[in-house]
Structure 1
Amino acid sequence: MYQAMTSLGFAAESDYHGEIHLQGAPKGASVLVLGAGLAGMTAAYELRKAGYKVQVLEYNAKAGGRCWTLRGGDRFTEMGGATQHCEFDSGLYLNPGPWRIPYHHYAVLDYCKRFGVHLEPFVQVNHNAVFHASKAFGGKPQKIRAVQADFQGHIAELLHKAVGQNALSASVTREDGDKLLEALRDWGALDGQGRYLKSPAASLRRGYVSDPAGGLMPLAQDSDPLDAAELVRSGLWRHLIDGQEYDYQTTLFQPVGGMDMIAQAFARQVNDLIRYNSKVTAIQQDDKGVTVTYVDREGAGAPMQAKADWCVCTLPLSILGQLPLNVSQDMQAAIRSVPYDASVKIGLQFKRRFWEEDERIFGGISYTDLPIEKISYPSTDYGKPGKGVLLGGYVWGPNAYEFTAMSPQERVKKAVEYGAQIHPQYTAEFDNGIAVGWHRVPWTNGCYGMWTEETRAQHYRNLCQIDGRIVLAGEHASYIPAWQEGAVLSSLDAITRLHTHIVASQRAA
């Protein structure tokens, strides 16, 4: 699985080696950057530092692209015209796009450090959160710690029996078999006979019916393991791997106050270069430079043009593929070969933080086979009185297309209905919500670029090559798609190659 994910770019380590130093920019050379997401702002920041004249065209009224946070008072109009007004209380927010940063995303973390973005831990795995299968265990959610301990214990018991009966003698020597038996007893909380049973050792892993206490309080009561056969049939074990995958291993981070703190920090560096509310309508190049036609996003005035010697285009391929663009056939084919995945995020505000007060869930993610797929609890402001916002649904695949087809109000309503099967408090405590379907976000028309092994082999290098005076950058031009790190690394690579090409072209002239 890891090898497959790596080949598709979902489990790759950042290849970042520190701050770049571009030198020798030709005097007066200009670069036009399309898009003020992280890729575009990285390019603008580094190219200006290198001595280029830089201008950025951005569709939205603010920078960041998919590095986006919704707070109380914000308004969002999706394709189709539906407008949502975020009603979250002050200090509460939803990150519709990126919401966590792995510790090995070195470039993003380095820019956060350089630009003064304060980070805090993002809790990926909380053993007190739940796994939920609607048709298993009577639909009752099961604590993650119990599922992990019991699945581990039952598997350890089976292996213990196999080793004890010499069923693995062809692979394990007698001496190694003894060590393996010892390891299985420890790993699976087995008793002296290699059985996984109700016991103090098992309760230390899966939790107690009544926890150890103090003084003359009742004694601790051990808990009963889940039935092995039903546990296997439930499929709950599928989620155990999530926190062990490379992208989600401890420690993960989030910016204090919302993911767009990163976008705001970048914008403070390059804000004077950005022309906002600029919708690109055509991109043309010749042997002298690049001309980009754009209009005011609100529809005011006639079409305008921006010109430069070179262009770094960070527009999502889902947008770029719709524009008149004179690049090579190979690049055109590459642009049109990458579809964009569907995803929906739903933020729900509740009258109180019941997940903490009632269930002692502080951060982390619960998983379900219901269409909402995930519930993520805030990794900040623990124990704070008053209202709270959680991620009430993070939807992918066919469910995402179904949710995207709904009105925003219906998405929120469904998220509350499904979530109430996991947390009955939903019904009484729900306050308001907001839902973003990425195929209806007008500046991306989708969530991220979906490569396959075949399309990467055929088109990836063509997409990333400098084509005349244009080079592309963004998460779609990386082996870390859907991550901000992919966008930043792609940009650094593109502008480094472009700078080398410009300098070489100048010398040749």
Structure 2
Amino acid sequence: MQDHQLVTGLTRRNLLSLIGMSAGSAAMYHAMTTLGLAAESGYKGPIKLEGDPKGASVLILGAGLAGLTAALELRQAGYSVQILEYNNRAGGRNWTIRGGDTVTELGGATQKCEFDEGHYLNPGPWRIPYHHHGLLDYCKRLGVTLEPFQQLNHNAFLHSKDAFGGKPQRVRHIKTDLRGHTSELLAKVTQKGALEGDVTKEDQEMLLEALRSWGVLDENYAYKESIHTSEYRGFEQDPGGGLGAAPTPGKPLGLSAILNSGLWGNLANFALYEFQTTMFQPVGGIDMIAQAFVREVGDLITYNAKVTKIEQGDNGVTAYYEDSENPGTTQQASADWCVCTIPLTILSQIDINVGADMQAAIEAVPYASSVKVGLQFKRRFWEEDDLIFGGVSYTDLPISQISYPSTDFNTKGKGVLLGCYTWQGPNSYEFTSMAPDERVKRAVEYGAQIHPQYKEEFENGVSWAWHRSPFTLGCAGDWTEEMRKEHYENLCKIDGRIVLAGEHASYIPAWMEGAILSSLDAITRLHQRVVAG
């Protein structure tokens, strides 16, 4: 058999690596944690800023989640608080675009979102892992209603333009068949005694039983077409009622075809700790979180405030700013202390008198590129035609992935897909360089290779490229391990009367949890210094 001939060239390391990919992705998660890309939240419960601040004042720069968190906690602790925010809204990247909204990128490209009422695009963060304890706690405390976010859908697609004739494959087919084939291979290796020295004879016997169960193997430790395997990968004809109701087994894909397709690599997106069930989203859009904070501290915010200079002295901090919608007149705000949450890409262009170490850290961290495109369709064809209710389909096309809405399942009417989500790399830079309407056009063209219904059902779309975002100039801090060793501590330390906070000052960059934990750490240290006098 071709598949078995292919396997003769596999080393034990490659075989175990392949099994790891089909079973989970602990190694990849460990590597990402090392780079600061994935980690469990360190939140231990609400902070307690005990001690009298003696009337101290704090100026917060930026009303994203880090700034809003700082404002909420500091005011409750007795501080006088003021927030300067560049946009005409709070939330920063915690942002939702709805029908009627107008958005403008650098260069002046302006879009008016034409989504129907109730539909939206979250151009930034869009999901909450169950282990992001800090964010979940604030959602509970502030009354933000959550609902499940569907990350893994076994009936969604894995797609490569060069594999299986360009025909999308169901996640359940690739996942189950890869697991079955690798289980069969490992069973054969085990039966031949090739694992002696690695596991005991008793362990080998238990391993064979585990492989038979896990890989859905028959009594001869073979993975092949059967009713039993179809109970995992799905049937050619599902069991029904009445005459002709007997199920027809589905035929597994060959190992060689799966390996050569490369589709198995996408299974890691479902196995990663940060994407595991259960994930959540706020009902009505991700900015429901920011709106909940605003109900508590909105009176502290000065909107349309573009900070141009930050000075500090022995007794306080002064920020100079102008109205971003009517520039020309400089105003100033002063306080005893400053919590600065401005993204580093912006802060590095602002005159700020901090020490050389913090200045170097501010200038060292680049921001990741990311583009999202939301597409509204006349009907929810992914549910009606393809039986995909939520989840994500992955592709090697430039759009990278399609995410299906986790709301309003099995209802009539229109729907909005996340039709493109690029992250770093050539595809993201190429989409960033396009005009917004061209991104939408390309997303429809590429998506039609996975869902042919796109062309007939498409109505309108909206896009956002984070490197063209005037208030961030990028999506999120893009740390490397080397940069963290050199600059991270200096970025987070209090410099005189200024402390920085935000997702960039965390080991969970690009996640809302990182912004919140960074803020809590920063204001705790600031408060300790204030109380100590």
Q: TM-score range by the shorter chain?
A: over 0.9
Counterpart for residue 416 of structure 1: 444
Distance of 2:450 and 2:52 partners within structure 1 = 58
The answer for the alignment partner of 1:444 in structure 2 is 472
1:474 alignment partner AA: G
Kept in 1, the 8 Å contact 2:53–2:77? The answer is: no
Q: Give the SS at the match of 1:336.
A: helix
Q: Distance in 1 between matches of 2:233 and 2:463?
A: 35
Bigger shift: 393-402 or 468-477? 393-402
Q: Which residue of 1 aligns with 2:14?
A: none
Using the TM superposition, give the Cα deviation of residue 301 of structure 1 relative to its aligned residue in structure 2, in angstroms: 5.2
Aligned residue among 255, 260, 283 for 1:256: 283
| CA deviation vs aligned residue, 1:201-250 (integer Å, no higher than 9, x gap) | 11111111110001224421111111211110111111112222110111
Of the candidates 143, 149, 153, which is equivalent to residue 180 of structure 2?
153
CA RMSD of aligned residues (A): 0.9
Detail structure 1 runs of 4+ shifted over 3 Å in the superposition. none
Please report how far the alpha carbon of residue 7 of structure 1 lies from its aligned counterpart in structure 2 after TM superposition. 1.6
Structure 1: state its 5+ residue gaps: none
Question: Whole-Å Cα distance in 1 between the matches of residues 142 and 404 of structure 2?
Answer: 28
Q: Give the letter aligned to residue 525 of structure 2.
A: R
**Contact 1:150–1:206, Cα closer than 8 Å, also in 2:** yes
Note if 1:471 corresponds to 2:499.
Answer: yes
Pairing 1:78–2:105 present = yes
Q: Distance in 1 between matches of 2:362 and 2:152?
A: 37
Q: What SS is found at the alignment partner of 1:445?
A: coil
For 2:328 and 2:370, locate their aligned partners in 1 and report how far apart those are by CA, in whole Å. Answer: 35
Which has the higher mean CA deviation after the structures are superposed, 196-205 or 482-491?
196-205
Distance 1:16 1:370 in 2: 38
SS in 2 for 1:197: coil
Equivalent residue in structure 2 for 1:492, among 520, 525, 529: 520
Report Cα offsets for 1:296-331 as digits up to 9, x if no partner: 011255110111111000000000000001000000
Contact 2:151 2:279 in 1 (8 A): yes
Q: Does 1:406 align with 2:430?
A: no
Partner of 1:433: 461
Q: What corresponds to 1:13 in structure 2? A: 40
Report the AA paired with residue 507 of structure 2: Y
Residue aligning to 1:36: 63
CA distance in 1, matches of 2:245, 2:300: 67
Equivalent residues of 1:25, 1:499 under 8 A apart: no
2:22 paired residue number: none
- 2:95/2:287 contact within 8 Å kept: yes
Equivalent of 1:384 in 390, 411, 434: 411
Indicate if the aligned counterparts of 2:83 and 2:302 stay in contact, CA closer than 8 A: yes
Q: Which runs of 5+ in 2 are unaligned?
A: 1-27
- Aligned partner letter, 2:477: G
User: How much has 1:180 moved relative to structure 2?
Assistant: 1.2
Q: Distance in 2 between matches of 1:362 and 1:174?
A: 45
Q: Which of 189, 195, 214 matches 2:241?
A: 214
For residues 358 and 248 of structure 1, the distance between their equivalents in structure 2, rounded to whole angstroms, comes to 26
| Alpha-carbon separation, structure 2, partners of 1:160 and 1:77 | 58
Instruction: Report the CA distance shift for 1:26/1:172 in structure 2 as closer, same or farther (over 3 A).
Output: closer
- What does residue 9 of structure 2 align with? none
- SS at 1:161 equivalent: helix
CA distances 1:264-308 after superposition (whole Å, capped 9, x unpaired): 000110000000011101111111111100000112551101111
Spell out, residue by residue over 1:41-96, the C-alpha distance to the aligned partner (whole angstroms, 9 max, x if none): 00011111111110000011110000000000001000000001001010001100
Encode CA deviations 1:312-368: one digit per residue, 9 max, x unaligned: 000000000000010000000000110000000000000000000001100000000
Tell me if the contact between 1:58 and 1:277 (Cα under 8 Å) persists in the aligned partners: yes
How many percent of aligned residue pairs carry the same amino acid?
A: 66
> For the residues of structure 2 that align with 1:308 and 1:170, how far apart are their CA atoms?
67
Q: Report the counterpart of residue 480 of structure 1 in structure 2.
A: 508
Q: Aligned runs of 1:312-461 on 2, under 5 Å?
A: 312-396=339-423, 397-461=425-489
Looking at structure 2, the residues matched to 235 and 25 of structure 1 have their Cα atoms a distance apart, in angstroms, of: 60
Deviations 1:401-444, CA, capped at 9 Å, x for gaps: 10000000000000000000000000100000001000011100
Which deviates more from structure 2 when the two are superposed, residues 186-195 or residues 469-478?
A: 186-195
**Equivalent residue number for residue 105 of structure 1:** 132
Amino acid at match of 1:114: R
Q: In structure 1, how many angstroms separate the alpha carbons of the residues matched to 2:53 and 2:160?
A: 62
CA displacement 1:104-131 (0-9 Å, x = unmatched): 1011000000000000000010000010
| Alignment-derived partner of residue 336 in structure 2 | 309
> Given the two structures, how large is their TM-score scaled by the length of structure 2?
0.94
Q: Is the 8 A contact 1:348 1:390 kept in 2?
A: yes
Deviation at 1:8, TM superposition (A): 1.6
TM-score after normalising by structure 1: 0.98
CA distance in 2, matches of 1:30, 1:169: 68
Aligned to 2:206: 179
The residue number in structure 2 matching 1:57 is: 84
- Residue 2 of structure 1 deviates from its aligned partner by 2.5
Find the aligned partners of 1:464 and 1:298 in 2 and give their Cα distance.
Answer: 32
